[in-house]
């Protein structure tokens, strides 16, 4: 590789070429795509939650952002169109977006429902065009076929490509060869660096750093002294050295599973907050069982109105994926994070140390009879919920979640109001609904 003398920034244009694609205001854009009459209007999703899940750029221009209570949205823009979320349709459009990418490149890393990475290195000759042209073709194809806009960044590393994609939203295409890395970094504040949280950002600011460029000017020993391994990896990536490769794995292998829930209005009721955590745990365990994974470590956390989060890690006595076996441990430590008279806006759990559910070494002190009974009961719950819908059967401790207002629970997306023949409230065909009328 070639580097500049003095600051050691990469100047070779394309030792590697990574593409990052990020759909713009994805949920709201999906609604506008499914119902073209909404194009150009301030659209907000999240009616069923009572807070904004996503806002179209027309709504964002009015000051409406994610997480804002819907009553505040109505004050800002009385004409805002507030819709319930239709996650199944969003997932279908996401799948189609990634499929379009695979027409051009063989490997696509699905980073989230609306983001993906790909390695374009070596694709210029097969496609007979530049990296910029590859990005333009992918972008044009997605926007034409799906009716949504996407922003694309192309750069020598994944971290730089992600920063580039966010630089010209919406519907931007930013290409950053090695010799222009410095120009990109000078425009990126510390809090926009992928992988840096609030605490890391505030820590670096104490040393007078303001931008990603300031951070990358620090030498390697300084970074090693003040940050962990991840911080050093990010430093290298921002300077043009590839550390993170593209993963072609689908989400069949998880290191952890997290589930969160933001609710409105905020609450300080102990039983309600605990119920939310247990519901989070049930959802995380359902996903773990779906992928035949078990965990021996749980993290629970609560987020206050000022967005400060407090959590605790729990070492489980039994490696499991049954919420019935984990809940007693959760209840024991709940008092360490919950404080009376504090208003909370969201809860979350993380199942970590995941491993395949086979040949797990049992502890000598495990109550095997109890474990077998709980696992059998969990299997029965899964069978019933698969027929009648997620959380049809759930723990009584999470019952309050069903009866506490978290927005307009009667708000239903189009798929519920236009049922096809043979569908019911719990069972329906996995298709978007705007163009389909019920029989």
List the catalytic residue out of 115, 182, 237, 282: 115
Q: How far is the C-alpha of 276 from the C-alpha of 278, rounded, in Å?
A: 5
Tell me which H or E stretch contains 312: strand 309-320
Instruction: Enumerate the β-bridge partners of residue 267.
Output: 344
Residue (of 324, 306, 316) closest to 360 by Cα position:
316
Q: Check: CB of residue 336 under 8 Å from CB of residue 312.
A: yes
Q: How far is the C-alpha of 206 from the C-alpha of 210, rounded, in Å?
A: 10
Residue (of 75, 81, 240, 248) closest to 158 by Cα position:
240
Peptide bond into 88 cis (omega under 30): no
Q: What angle do CA 347, 353, 354 make, to 5 degrees?
A: 90
Tell me which H or E stretch contains 259: strand 257-267
Tell me which H or E stretch contains 138: helix 131-146
The tokens describing 11, both together, are 């100047």
Instruction: Enumerate the β-bridge partners of residue 355.
Output: 294
The residues near 39 (Cβ < 8 Å, ≥ 6 apart) are 32
Phi and psi for 287 in degrees, rounded to 5?
-65, -40
Compute the residue count for the chain.
439
Burial class from Cβ neighbours inside 10 Å (0-12, 13-18, 19+) for residue 183 reads exposed
115 carries an active-site annotation? yes
Phi and psi for 415 in degrees, rounded to 5?
-65, -25
Q: How far is the C-alpha of 67 from the C-alpha of 366, rounded, in Å?
A: 43
Q: What is the DSSP letter of 379?
A: H
The DSSP code sequence of 134-177 is HHHHHHHHHHHHHS--EEEEEESSHHHHHHHHTTT-SS-EEE--
Q: Check: CB of residue 120 under 8 Å from CB of residue 154.
A: yes
Beta strands, E only, 24-134: 43-45, 54-55, 81-83, 108-112, 115-119
Which positions are catalytic?
Answer: 115
């Amino acid at each position: 590789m070639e580097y500049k003398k003095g600051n050691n920034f990469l100047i070779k244009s394309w030792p590697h070429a990574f593409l990052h694609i990020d759909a713009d205001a994805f949920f709201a854009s999906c609604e506008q795509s499914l119902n073209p009459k909404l194009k150009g209007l301030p659209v907000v999703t999240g009616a069923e939650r009572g807070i904004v899940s996503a806002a179209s750029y027309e709504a964002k221009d009015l000051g409406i952002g994610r997480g804002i209570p819907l009553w505040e949205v109505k004050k800002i823009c009385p004409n805002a169109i507030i819709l319930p979320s239709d996650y199944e349709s969003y997932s279908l459009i996401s799948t189609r977006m990634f499929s379009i990418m695979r027409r051009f490149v063989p490997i696509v890393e699905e980073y989230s429902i609306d983001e993906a990475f790909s390695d374009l290195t070596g694709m210029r000759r097969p496609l007979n065009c530049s990296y910029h042209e590859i990005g333009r073709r992918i972008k044009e194809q997605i926007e034409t076929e799906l009716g949504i806009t996407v922003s694309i960044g192309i750069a020598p590393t994944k971290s730089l490509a992600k920063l580039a994609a966010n630089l010209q939203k919406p519907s931007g295409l930013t290409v950053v060869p090695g010799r222009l890395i410095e120009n990109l970094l000078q425009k990126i504040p510390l809090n926009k660096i992928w992988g840096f949280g609030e605490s890391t950002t505030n820590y670096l600011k104490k040393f007078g750093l303001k931008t990603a460029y300031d951070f990358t000017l620090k030498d390697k020993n300084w970074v090693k002294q003040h940050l962990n391994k991840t911080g050093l990896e990010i430093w290298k990536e921002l300077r043009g050295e590839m550390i993170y490769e593209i993963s072609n794995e689908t989400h069949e292998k998880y290191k952890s599973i997290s589930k969160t829930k933001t609710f409105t209005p905020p609450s300080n009721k102990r039983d309600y907050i605990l119920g939310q955590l247990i519901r989070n745990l049930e959802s995380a365990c359902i996903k773990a069982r779906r992928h035949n994974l078990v965990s021996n470590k749980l993290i629970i956390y609560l987020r206050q109105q000022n967005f400060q989060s407090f959590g605790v890690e729990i070492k489980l006595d039994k490696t499991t994926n049954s919420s019935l076996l984990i809940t007693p441990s959760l209840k024991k430590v709940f008092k360490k994070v919950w404080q009376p008279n504090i208003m909370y806006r969201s809860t979350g759990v993380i199942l970590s140390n995941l491993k395949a559910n086979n040949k797990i070494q049992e502890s000598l002190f495990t109550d095997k009879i109890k474990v077998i009974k709980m696992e059998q009961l969990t299997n029965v719950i899964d069978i019933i919920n698969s027929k009648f819908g997620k959380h049809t059967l759930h723990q009584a401790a999470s019952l309050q979640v069903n009866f506490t207002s978290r927005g307009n629970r009667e708000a239903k997306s189009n798929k519920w109001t236009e049922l096809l023949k043979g569908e019911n409230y719990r069972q329906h065909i996995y298709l978007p609904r705007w163009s389909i009328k019920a029989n």
